[in-house]
Amino acid sequence: MPTTPSTAGRRPADERRRTLLRTARDVADDLAADAIARDQAGDSPTDELARIREAGLLAALTPPGPGRGTDWRTGCAVIRKIATADSSIGDVLARHYVHAWSGRFYGSHQDPAAFEEESVREQWLWTGAIRTPAPDDVTDGPRLTPRPRNTGYLLTGRRFVDTAAAVSDQLVVDAVCAATGDVLVVRIAPGTRGVTVEPAHDRLGQRVAGAGQVVLDRVSVTPEQVLDHRPYDEESTAPFTALAEPALQLALCHVGLGIAEGALTEARDLSRGGRAYRLPGEDPDLFLTYGELASAAQTATAMVDRATEVMAQALDTGARLDDEEPAGVAALVATAETVTSKAALHITARVLELADAPGLDRFWRNARVLTAHHPAAHRLRSIGEHYINGSHRAMAATFR
């Protein structure tokens, strides 16, 4: 085949992708070796993150830029591979990758290149919790008090963070400005004075993700740490900003898919090795069950892969995204999340009937925690509304 400029340009990118996926497989194999013991201990993921950093995954899983970062398709493939071995660490990486995009999602008034480059150089670990309130929301979320002479803010409040609460390098949260009522998105270093963490012990699942309550007591926030404000009015939300929430949900779909694939693979290996309630042999009922579960996993995979491709195209479009596109992307992601959540819970429960091994229940526990806060009924209503009424600018918000 003749070499053209386009094919020549793709070759280095393809090689980087292959190298990164090989690294992810190696890290996944390493994590799988002691996954059960670490799940039982339920400690903060300090050791696991040392392995991740040593492999260069924190630097790799950042937005693409000149000579750095990873495209959306490859980033999600890495997250899924890690999640098959350890969904807690897959969860950490999913939220890291999406929150590393925060400067692009929310920072319309500043160029994020400088801190993205620093993130790669220093191998920052990102986490966060963005829950922009409605105008009549009276919940006690974080609040920003302006300091004199426009020198920044003091941040006070608390926010539950699902991953890496005590071990992250950058925390992204939304907070209400006490003076104006505007919702601002800010990034802070958890090691900053005034930040303390209350770890969430004894979780049912995702026990190594490092979840916890972050307490903020007059934390200094410079103007440079304010990414942007978020309007209450969805009609005023920039189309690219509207991709932030579905991007996170889609990354977590890859974690859920990794849980399902990991559970099914481990149960199959146990069946092949004779550590099962029924030996494989010629048992047609066993074949039927595995056929059903494999089909459910493959159906979810097809849906997630389709949503991943559409999201990748939207992210590549960037500021040229039109007003209606985010709602279509959000609807597809919500569909993928619905199918994947159902498949993950079903598969992880059924494998417990097929094989008997210590730690096999961790897959169901992890799937349960991962999906608990996103009720299917709400998503299905939003999907139905989109199907009947089509896309419009404010609809992307209904999928939250």
| Domain boundaries along the sequence of the chain | 5-122, 127-232, 236-399
Return the bridge partners of 157, or none. Answer: 216
Q: What is the pLDDT of residue 73?
A: 98
Distance in angstroms between the alpha carbons of the first and the last residue of the chain: 47
Q: Is the distance from CB of 256 to CB of 285 less than 8 angstroms?
A: no
**Any residues with CB less than 8 A from the CB of 334 and at least 6 apart, and which?**
246, 249, 379, 382, 383, 399
Q: Which fold has domain 5-122?
A: Butyryl-Coa Dehydrogenase, subunit A; domain 1 (1.10.540)
Q: What is the pLDDT of residue 278?
A: 60
DSSP secondary structure code for residue 166 in this structure:
T
Query: What is the C-alpha to C-alpha distance for residues 217 and 158, in angstroms, rounded to an integer?
Result: 9
What global pTM score does this model have? 0.94
pLDDT tens by residue, the chain, 400 residues: 455 444 555 678 899 999 999 999 999 999 999 999 999 999 999 999 999 999 999 999 999 999 999 999 999 999 999 999 999 999 999 999 999 999 999 987 678 999 999 999 999 999 999 985 555 554 567 998 988 777 899 999 999 999 999 999 999 999 999 998 889 999 999 999 999 999 999 899 999 999 999 999 999 999 999 998 887 767 788 999 999 999 999 999 999 999 999 999 999 999 887 666 665 567 888 899 999 999 999 999 999 999 999 999 999 999 899 999 999 999 999 999 999 999 999 999 999 999 888 999 999 999 999 999 888 998 999 999 999 988 766 667 667 6
- How deeply is 177 buried, as exposed, middle or buried, from its count of CB atoms within 10 A (0-12, 13-18, 19+)? middle
Q: What is the pLDDT of residue 237?
A: 87
Q: Domain 127-232 classified CATH 3.30.1280.10?
A: no
Query: What is the C-alpha to C-alpha distance for residues 25 and 42, in angstroms, rounded to an integer?
Result: 23
If one counts every other C-beta atom within 10 angstroms of the C-beta of residue 134, the result is 9
Query: What is the C-alpha to C-alpha distance for residues 243 and 105, in angstroms, rounded to an integer?
Result: 7
Q: What is the pLDDT of residue 360?
A: 97
For the packed helices 72-85 and 87-99, what is the interaxial angle rounded to 10 degrees? 160
Q: Is the distance from CB of 340 to CB of 255 less than 8 angstroms?
A: no
Where do we find the tokens 């008997």? 356
DSSP secondary structure code for residue 133 in this structure:
P
DSSP secondary structure code for residue 359 in this structure:
T
Domain 236-399, CATH homologous superfamily name and number: Butyryl-CoA Dehydrogenase, subunit A, domain 3 (1.20.140.10)
Tokens (6 digits) for 128: 């966060």
Q: What is the pLDDT of residue 393?
A: 63
Q: How far is CA 222 from CA 219, 227, 393, 395, in A?
A: 10, 10, 32, 33
If one counts every other C-beta atom within 10 angstroms of the C-beta of residue 10, the result is 12
**Any residues with CB less than 8 A from the CB of 135 and at least 6 apart, and which?**
232
Element (H, E) at 161: strand 153-161
